[in-house]
Amino acid sequence: MLFEQEVNKVGYLSRSVPANVNLVDAILALKKEKNATILAHYYVSEDIQKIADHIGDSYALAKISKEINTKMIVFCGVHFMAETAKILNPTAKVLIPDLHAGCSLADATPLDAFVAFKKEHPDAVVVSYINCSAEIKAESDYICTSSNAVEVVNAIPKDKKIIFAPDKNLGLYVQKVTGRELLLWDGACIVHVNISQDKLHQLQIDNPNAVLIAHPECLPGILDKASFIGSTKALIEFVTVSEHNEFIVATEAGILYKMKQAVPHKKIIPAPALESNSCACSECPYMKMNSLEKIYNALYYEVPEITIPSSVHERALRALNNMLTVS
C-alpha cells in the first residue's frame, strides 16, 4: 500500500542505490537472503543476462517458472511473461523490475474487443500466443509460443475453426506451415515489423555468404526470404550447430549476446531497423526497461509484485496447461 501509488504511476520504486554498493554483488546477496530466482529473456541487456539463474525463450521460461521452488521469482522480461510465471507458480511471490514493461502484442488485444470477436465465431477453438494478458489467456483454449505454435495448431481436429491471436504475422506463418485457415487477430510486434526490408536486402547483397534467419514475428516478406525460422532459443541453436559461419539475424538484438557467446568465431549481423540508430538493429523498448538498479529495488522492497485475480487464474492456467500437454 505504501509503495502502490508510486509503482502504479512510474512502474517501479525509484530509490537511488547508495554509491558504495556494488549492484551485482548486492543483487546476488539479496537473491540469496530472500530465496529468489532471477529469470531473464534473451532480449534483456547483457548485464542482466549475466546475473540471471535461467535465460530462455518464452516457452522455456514458462516451463522453468512452473518448476521453481524458491520463495520469489524476479522476472526480467515483460509483463505477460511475469504473469505467466505467476499463473504457473501461484505460491511464489513474482516480482517484475518495471510494471510498465509491456508488449505491443498484449496491448493490441483489449479484452472487450476480443470477447466480441469470439462471439462472432462461437464454434472456433481459441489459440492465443503467450504474448497476451492473463485475461486474454483466460478467454483462450490453448496458449502457444513461437516454438510450438505449429504443433499446437496441428493438435486441433481438422474440422474445427481456429481463432489465432494476437500476432497476425506469426498466424500467417502458422497458416502457411500447417495449411490450416486461421481466423487472425490483427496484432504485431513493433520490434519485428520495424526491421527494414530494403536495408536487409542491401545487407544480403553486401554479405553474400550470410544466411538469413528470422523470428516468426517478422513480416511475411522477411520470412519468405529466410533460410531458417524459429523462436529465440531455436535461432541460437541454429547458429550453434550450423555448418555456416555468417548469419543475418532478424529479431531483437539482445539475442546477440548469447549467440556470440555460443559461437564467438562466427559472424553474426543483426537485421537493420527502419530508422537509423546507434546499434543499426531493432530493440524492444519494453525489454530494455529492465535494469540492475530496478532489479535491486524490486528485490529489496519486494515490489512491483504480480497478482492474478482468482477468476482469471483458473481459466488462464487451463489454457497454459493445454499447451504444456501438447508440447
Binding-site ranges for ligand 13P (CB under 6 A): 57-59, 131, 145-147, 189, 217, 231-232
145 binds, among ligand 13P, ligand SF4, none (CB under 5 to 8 A by kind): ligand 13P
Evaluate whether 105 touches 132 at the Cβ level (below 8 Å): yes
Type of residue at 229: I
Complex with ligand 13P: residue 11 or 254, whichever CB lies closer:
254
Complex with ligand SF4: residue 217 or 305, whichever CB lies closer:
217
Complex with ligand SF4: residue 289 or 320, whichever CB lies closer:
289
Q: How far is the CB of 226 from ligand 13P (least distance, A)?
A: 14
Q: Determine the Cα–Cα distance for residues 144 and 128; give it in Å rounded to an integer.
A: 6
Q: Determine the Cα–Cα distance for residues 243 and 258; give it in Å rounded to an integer.
A: 18
Q: Per CB under 6 A, which of residues 242..261 are in contact with ligand SF4?
A: 252
Q: What is the b/e burial string over 140-163, where b = at least 16 CB atoms within 10 angstroms of the residue's CB?
A: bbbbbbbbbbbebbebbeeeeebb
When asked if residue 289 is in the footprint of ligand SF4 (CB under 6 A), the reply is: no
Compute the Cα dihedral for 62, 65, 66, 72 and give only its sign: negative
- Radius of gyration for the chain, computed over Cα atoms and rounded to the nearest angstrom: 20
286 binds, among ligand 13P, ligand SF4, none (CB under 5 to 8 A by kind): ligand SF4
When asked if residue 222 is in the footprint of ligand SF4 (CB under 6 A), the reply is: no
297 binds, among ligand 13P, ligand SF4, none (CB under 5 to 8 A by kind): none
104 binds, among ligand 13P, ligand SF4, none (CB under 5 to 8 A by kind): ligand SF4
Q: How far is the CB of 194 from ligand SF4 (least distance, A)?
A: 9
Fill in the DSSP letter of residue 194. Answer: T
When asked if residue 87 is in the footprint of ligand SF4 (CB under 6 A), the reply is: no
Distances from the Cα of 68 to the Cα of 78, 212, 264, 316, angstroms: 19, 36, 31, 19
190 binds, among ligand 13P, ligand SF4, none (CB under 5 to 8 A by kind): ligand SF4
When asked if residue 219 is in the footprint of ligand SF4 (CB under 6 A), the reply is: no
Binding mask 124-153 for ligand SF4 (x = CB under 6 A): -------x----------------------
When asked if residue 210 is in the footprint of ligand SF4 (CB under 6 A), the reply is: no
Q: What is the b/e burial string over 214-234, where b = at least 16 CB atoms within 10 angstroms of the residue's CB?
A: bbbbbbeebbebbeebbbbbb
Residue 92 CB-density burial (10 A; 0-12 exposed, 13-18 middle, 19+ buried): buried
Evaluate whether 218 touches 192 at the Cβ level (below 8 Å): yes
Binding residues for ligand SF4, total number by CB under 6 A? 14
Among 96, 103, 136, 289, binds ligand SF4 (CB under 6 A): 103
Q: Is the peptide bond preceding residue 304 cis, with omega within 30 degrees of 0?
A: yes
When asked if residue 78 is in the footprint of ligand SF4 (CB under 6 A), the reply is: yes
Cell digits of residue 193: 515489423
| Nearest-CB residue for ligand 13P | 57
Helix (H) or strand (E) holding 233: helix 232-241
Complex with ligand SF4: residue 124 or 174, whichever CB lies closer:
174
Question: Which positions lie near ligand SF4, rule CB under 6 A?
Answer: 43, 78, 103-105, 131, 189-191, 217, 252, 284, 286-287
